[in-house]
Amino acid sequence: MTPARPVRFAAAAMATAGAVLLSAAPAHPLPHATPAALPSAAALPSAAADATEPTDTAPAAPAAASGRSVGELLAALKVLYGKRERALEAYRRAAHQLHEQQKRTDRLERRLAGTRYRLAEEREIAARVARAQYRTGAPGLPTAVQVLLADDPVVAMRHGHTLERAAARQQATVRALASGERHRGAVAAEARDALQRQQKLADRAERRREASRAAMREVERMLTSLTPRQLAALRDHERKQGRLSPP
């Protein structure tokens, strides 16, 4: 067929081939076909192959200008539609995984932000404790020495207890800071790993989508390349399938 054939003829070919494929499919297909049930890419006939024998899919027809019999054309269409369905299923699966990974990454980012906020608070507490110890004077001396050197032992004793409590709080703050730092590092590393996995999933989804589009373009090119002779044979096959089908 020449490139200038009418568009209505290509549309008729698309509709007729679709009807043939639907009539050849099982009445109740499985919701998820296994790879073994789908035709392999090796079953796709070559564009230069000569028509030799009829297939079970369609009645035999003389070789057309494209070099394919009607049976070979129908077999090729089935392979291409199978490729399209597998590509779409892979894309949907990758898109779902990408969505789940995105949600997990968002959770990790929120945890990381919370850890950073807690670290800022704990650092502020540690700074306040250090300033309080500095204002009390001689923070490094033991409590007993401060009592002996003080003018009022009672005040010095109370002051010493205050310093001890402040020191204990400071140590607790330091431990919390150290634990927070470790937790933040672990969360940050986990978030980075999740982002890397998410990027891989996004790339995989893009490849699956492009494969699906390429398969569909291949199907469309094949349908629009039907010659009048092939189209007549397809229609004849459709009529025969209608007669053989149960009412």
Position 60 in a domain: no
* CATH at 195: 1.10.287
For residue 20, being part of any structural domain is answered with: no
Q: State the DSSP H helix or E strand holding residue 142, giving kind and residue range, or none if neither.
A: none
pLDDT value for 111? 81
Would residue 158 count as lying in a domain? yes
User: Which tokens is 240 given?
Assistant: 């025969």
**83: phi then psi, degrees, rounded to nearest 5:** -60, -40
Q: Between the CA atoms of 97, 101, 102 and 103, what dihedral angle is there, to the nearest 10 degrees?
A: 110
Which residues, given as ranges, of the chain have pLDDT below 50?
A: 1-14, 19-65, 243-247
How far separated are the first and last CA of the chain, in Å rounded?
Answer: 36
Q: Give yes or no for a contact between 54 and 69, defined as CB atoms under 8 angstroms apart.
A: yes
Contact (CB, 8 A) for 62 and 228: no
Largest CA distance in the chain: 120
pLDDT of 154 = 64
Q: What is the pLDDT of residue 188?
A: 78
Q: Evaluate whether residue 239 is within a structural domain.
A: yes
- Is residue 24 in some structural domain? no
Going by the DSSP 8-state scheme, the letter that residue 70 receives in this structure is H
Query: CA-to-CA distance for 173 and 176, rounded, in angstroms?
Result: 5
User: For 169-194, b where at least 16 C-beta lie within 10 A, e where not — what string?
Assistant: ebeebeebbeebeebbeebbeebeeb
17 within domain boundaries: no
Residue 1 lies in a domain: no
In a domain, 21, yes or no: no
Domain count, the chain: 1
The two tokens of residue 112 are: 């990381």
The pLDDT score that the predictor gives to residue 31 is: 37
- Quick: pLDDT tens for 20-79: 444 444 433 333 333 333 333 333 333 333 333 333 333 333 334 355 666 676 777 778
Q: For position 246, what pLDDT does the model report?
A: 42
Domain that holds residue 207: 70-244
* Structure tokens belonging to residue 101: 């990974």
